[in-house]
Chains A and B, each alone.
Chain A
């Protein structure tokens, strides 16, 4: 390899290294991460519900099924931590809470989870973004932040 090739190779590797460190920094320092791996004892659930923990954290248990989310409309206060749990009752579904990082797959047999905090009041659509059958495009829920 000649000198130019070595420089280019080092530049490419260095650039990717910097990108990777930036991703790790975002995960570690800012808490922006991919969904965690829950212990296998956490079993899938078949009914949607909302719990409020003593410290004010809301826990929403979403069930994705052909072709709706349960619960369909939930109101939460702005600026509070929100724990989302997601279970698929039939086939594989997607879950994308608009304008947030809560972008999840609902997989039959497993429970997905993500924590968000929504500071801005408004109506946040939750869109199913994984093909789940003929009425996939109608599968929407709403999170109302007040």
Chain B
């Protein structure tokens, strides 16, 4: 007899401190998003040549691009990962968070975000979220980013004693799937932010403070992409947790296989990290062989996503049939797509539809030599708006509102509008992303204020063939922005409403497994062996590339983004 997993738990009441801190963790990034989304929309206007200027309303294009990337891709996702993890660990282990750890973690993250916001808003850090040395930002930018990341580590470390105690007190009971998911998410995050921390602490901060004159660019880039791709799984896995654990139940069914879900999470642990070189295919200095190895490993990390597609679809089909569906496709129609009482279904289903295309285009990007046609073009931006800007973003919106409602005890208002948000966003995205990608295939560069040159009919560099796609991205982005405005209205209405119950009770709907749960002695119930293999894979795949990156002796002095003369004159 396989071990039984307790699925339904009673609502868990968090402490007043944790309640306040978690409310901050979900609210602060949504407030910052106003700026992040605003400039996302504006960028499409610059790129279409509707705005032909280096700046608009006091914010320059590249400054706004930095804000868009840092807020949407780093601050929002990190805060959400921590907030969601705090909620999952509290609820599924039925244990309060350690108060001082929670306070310290949230305090560091908020402080870091505010510290980094100052130079970004003053225009002292127009280096985009990927840092791009030897362009140099104000040291506060790097220090703030480091604090944010280390704060999220503290939150993660605070969960570990709770997990250990749970396992000690419940021998023979598997770790709840949601807890396994969030642990895998944060192990990946912790491992991959180590190279980032090395880059920031030992290369960028001393160099930006002027303590050292030059840094090695190949090394800085390799460390960055060591972090930069696992980062996307840190974004994605919280959404997967909802798809596996909550969506089947919300849709009226069961999780097809708890075993397959665990295998998928553990495969992500193995293959998320040793893949960063696929961001560096077009760079000099690395052997083709190692680029090929990273290409192969990137293909491997697609497998748990294929598995997820199957398991989630099978769970949804089961739910549809439970709701009376017959035939091959009827189950899709029967799902509660627009159920205003279960908005997470709408946020999940829209995200899953988008991710079909996000995943496929990701395989294109990973494809070694195929990447030659699309590297750094709009194709890439089109792709990742269907991943981080699709399932990830929608899950963050849907779940943040849900958490906000549970923490405050205020029911979600404007419910009908709320379920329209994900579909409206999807509609906009299905204009934006294909246009961006088609433009990329025509050669449009990403991260470029095209209105000043390629999209300016008076410029010698004008590209008439780029006009239609550039306009279409603007139309798509306008629809996406509208969806976000509706979401904000829902949030404000909810916030302004009266509490219907006492706040601070966390509750997550949890699906049973249709197929039997694996026995606790199974390897999928243990983390350590997988972690060892993951570390081995990292060591094997990064040993040679790091050595090759270190081979470049010549360092680069810092530059300001607006001046071709370096900030420090280095004697040759």
Residues of A within 8 A of B (CB): 1-2, 4-5, 8-9, 12-13, 16, 19-20, 23-24, 26-27, 32-38, 40, 44, 65-67, 86, 90-92, 94, 96, 98-99, 101-105, 107-113, 125, 127-134, 136-138, 140
1/0 per residue, CB under 8 A from A, across B50-71: the answer is 0000100000101001000000
A131 and B217 contact, Cβ closer than 8 Å, known pairs A103-B375, A137-B454: no
Compute how far the CA of A16 lies from the CA of B303 in the bound complex, rounded to whole angstroms. Answer: 9
- Cβ contacts A to B, 25 pairs, < 8 Å: A1-B257, A12-B302, A19-B299, A32-B372, A34-B368, A34-B371, A92-B133, A92-B134, A92-B221, A101-B369, A105-B282, A107-B284, A108-B217, A110-B283, A125-B461, A129-B375, A129-B376, A131-B448, A133-B560, A133-B563, A137-B448, A138-B452, A138-B453, A138-B461, A140-B453
A37 and B447 contact, Cβ closer than 8 Å, known pairs A19-B363, A90-B564, A107-B218: no
In the complex, the answer to whether A112 meets B284 with C-beta atoms within 8 Å is: yes
Nearest CB of chain B from residue A69's CB, rounded to whole Å: 13
In the complex, the answer to whether A99 meets B443 with C-beta atoms within 8 Å is: yes
CB interface residues, B 106-145, toward A, < 8 Å: 126, 128, 132-135
Compute how far the CA of A97 lies from the CA of B178 in the bound complex, rounded to whole angstroms. Answer: 47
Q: Which residues of A contact B295 (CB under 8 A)?
A: 20, 23
Q: Please give me the residue from chain A that is nearest to B447 by CB atom.
A: A131
Compute how far the CA of A92 lies from the CA of B257 in the bound complex, rounded to whole angstroms. Answer: 47
In the complex, the answer to whether B306 meets A12 with C-beta atoms within 8 Å is: yes
1/0 per residue, CB under 8 A from A, across B287-309: the answer is 11001100110011011001100
Compute how far the CA of A37 lies from the CA of B547 in the bound complex, rounded to whole angstroms. Answer: 13
In the complex, the answer to whether B307 meets A101 with C-beta atoms within 8 Å is: no
A5 and B376 contact, Cβ closer than 8 Å, known pairs A108-B217, A140-B453: no
Contact count band on B:
35 or more
In the complex, the answer to whether B369 meets A33 with C-beta atoms within 8 Å is: yes
Q: Which residues of B contact A38 (CB under 8 A)?
A: 284-285
Nearest CB of chain B from residue A103's CB, rounded to whole Å: 5
Nearest CB of chain B from residue A129's CB, rounded to whole Å: 4
1/0 per residue, CB under 8 A from A, across B535-568: the answer is 0000000000000100111111001111110100
A90 and B566 contact, Cβ closer than 8 Å, known pairs A109-B218, A110-B552, A129-B376: yes
Q: Please give me the residue from chain B that is nearest to A94 by CB atom.
A: B376
Knowing that A4-B314, A103-B371, A104-B284 touch, tell me 8 more A-B residue pairs with CB under 8 angstroms.
A8-B307, A8-B310, A12-B302, A92-B217, A108-B554, A113-B284, A134-B54, A137-B449
In the complex, the answer to whether B566 meets A5 with C-beta atoms within 8 Å is: no
Nearest CB of chain B from residue A110's CB, rounded to whole Å: 4
In the complex, the answer to whether B282 meets A127 with C-beta atoms within 8 Å is: no
Compute how far the CA of A107 lies from the CA of B450 in the bound complex, rounded to whole angstroms. Answer: 23
Q: Which residues of B contact A105 (CB under 8 A)?
A: 280, 282-284, 376
Q: Top 9 A-B pairs ranked by shortest CB distance?
A: A129-B445, A12-B306, A66-B564, A112-B284, A129-B376, A101-B372, A108-B556, A109-B552, A133-B561
- Residue in B218, B285, B376 whose beta carbon sits within 8 Å of that of A103 in the complex: B376
Compute how far the CA of A66 lies from the CA of B564 in the bound complex, rounded to whole angstroms. Answer: 5
Compute how far the CA of A107 lies from the CA of B215 in the bound complex, rounded to whole angstroms. Answer: 12
- Residue in B257, B286, B303, B461 whose beta carbon sits within 8 Å of that of A13 in the complex: B303
Compute how far the CA of A129 lies from the CA of B128 in the bound complex, rounded to whole angstroms. Answer: 14
A109 and B554 contact, Cβ closer than 8 Å, known pairs A90-B564, A137-B453, A137-B454: yes
Q: Which residues of A contact B38 (CB under 8 A)?
A: none
